[in-house]
Homo-oligomer: A and B are copies of this chain.
Amino acid sequence: MSNIRGRFSKPVDKIVATYTASIPFDWRLYKQDIAGSIAHARMLARQGIIADKEAETIIGGLASIREEIEQGKFEFKAELEDIHMAVESRLIEKVGEAGGKLHTARSRNDQIALDMRLFAREAISSTIAALKELQRALIGLAEDNKDTVMPGYTHLQAAQPVLLAHHLLAYFEMLQRDIARFSDCLKRVDVMPLGSGALAGVAYEVDREFLARELGFSQVSQNSLDAVSDRDFVLEYEAAASIGMMHLSRLAEEIVLWSSAEFNFIEIDEAYATGSSIMPQKKNPDVAELARGKTGRVYGSLMALLTTMKALPLAYNRDMQEDKQGLFDTVDTLLSTLEVFAGMIKTLRVKAENTANAAGQGYILATDLADYLVRKGEAFRTAYDIVARLVSYAEARGKTFAQLSLNEFKEFSSLFGEDVHSVTVESSLAARNITGGTAPEQVRRALADARKILEQK
């Protein structure tokens, strides 16, 4: 674009202009860019670097450009390269020479660092809100199914009975950690970079603390070279998002499993299911599958930026322009997945009879029998071996534990008594009465705690 081609005698080749332009995606930062420029103009006037009158003209011009953009009247031409130049150009067009003063004591390098930080700050706040909304949906579902029993699985094999609410609370915990991670990331985002200039700091008496206050930051950056070449906060958002999507992919997997005919634990609401183009009977858990699939793109964007940043010498290098699309896509993917999951969970129907039925199958109480023997004085490892043989015996005869007689039990250990038949799913649940355990009392308390956390703030 003409005004930054000053020293060149010819324009960039067209394919170069297209190749290097970021305006097709960074237009999205217009709000951040204009907010930053307004604060900058205000500061320049306050410090006497430009006249008050000029600042007013600039600010008025910027406000009207924002309006043009929001009303769809602004043309984002590829020749304008990026959002900063697009806005500056239009400003000069609108208000003349005063517009040419806006870029005093500022470079695109610190300007884009600011825009990205403003964007990331908003993204974190939306992300935390969306995480809480999904937590709310999970807790709601858990409360509505407080007494529902289901098999707890390890290795996808029924292991021990648990409450469905306990299972759902596991996801509450994961999302709670996600929130903590995004909150921690915010501390690294909350740093105001303007004043760093191209790389060495600007040669004007700017008031960086004023800029920080105006733009709502609590710190200013401490090293100009670092400030223009730091994209840690983008990587950190993407890493937290990758872990978050991993959690959602696990929930997605379970929704897919549970809505299969074989598990048949839940019914997805029709508004959250889709059909097939050829098989009229199909009701597919597409939302869960797609979320599971989208985990890939979020991981991919993290890997992409890590790769891009590898081995770049200081300070700014054009490679870093590649930070934007990955972040935008990650924010969009995570937010939309959280939103659509909240809706799906809220409308999910649990088939409590089926889950309870599954929890009663097989030898799911084997651990409880071993614990029974331990309580009668057996060493755990020996008790384990006794029950293991008991399982083989019962399985060979096609019997459940309940169908075994006391005599049969006694053949394996004389410690078995009448009370062996009081080892049930219910007793198994109730026995796990410690913090974090699946006993109904514990789960009730955990649900109440979760509610309290959700009500905070």
A19 proximity list for chain B (CB < 8 A) = 287, 290, 336-337, 340
Asked if A253 meets B388 with Cβ closer than 8 Å, knowing A20-B274, A284-B318, the reply is no
Asked if A313 meets B188 with Cβ closer than 8 Å, knowing A16-B340, A200-B432, A280-B6, the reply is no
Q: List 14 A-B contacts (CB under 8 A).
A: A6-B385, A104-B379, A157-B260, A159-B279, A170-B229, A173-B223, A195-B434, A198-B276, A201-B436, A201-B438, A205-B434, A246-B310, A280-B369, A293-B320
Asked if A317 meets B155 with Cβ closer than 8 Å, knowing A223-B169, A246-B309, A436-B223, the reply is yes
B200→A437 contact, CB < 8 A: yes
Among residues 76 to 131 in chain A, which have CB atoms less than 8 Å away from a CB atom of chain B?
Answer: 84-85, 88, 92, 97-104, 106-109
Asked if A431 meets B203 with Cβ closer than 8 Å, knowing A19-B340, A313-B257, the reply is yes
Interface segment out of the listed A31-39, A66-74, A235-243: A235-243
Closest 3 CB pairs of A and B: A6-B388, A201-B437, A293-B319
Contact of A281 among B20, B197, B364 (CB under 8 A): B364
- By beta carbon, the residue of chain B nearest A161 is B200
Asked if A155 meets B379 with Cβ closer than 8 Å, knowing A222-B173, A305-B296, A311-B311, the reply is no
Q: 1/0 per residue A150-181: CB within 8 Å of B?
A: 00111111111110001101111110010011
A97 proximity list for chain B (CB < 8 A) = 379, 382
Asked if A221 meets B436 with Cβ closer than 8 Å, knowing A280-B366, A286-B20, the reply is yes
Q: 1/0 per residue A358-370: CB within 8 Å of B?
A: 1001111011111
Contact residue range for chain A? 35 or more
A303 is an interface residue with CB less than 8 A from chain B: yes
Q: How far is the CA of A332 from the CA of B302 in the complex (A)?
A: 20
A403 is an interface residue with CB less than 8 A from chain B: no
In this complex, the member of A228, A242, A253, A437 whose beta carbon has the largest number of chain B beta carbons within 10 angstroms is: A437
A277 proximity list for chain B (CB < 8 A) = 4, 84-85, 103, 107-108
A145 is an interface residue with CB less than 8 A from chain B: no
Q: How far is the CA of A431 from the CA of B224 in the complex (A)?
A: 14
Contact of A367 among B198, B222, B318, B370 (CB under 8 A): B198
Q: 1/0 per residue A1-29: CB within 8 Å of B?
A: 00111111111110110111000000000
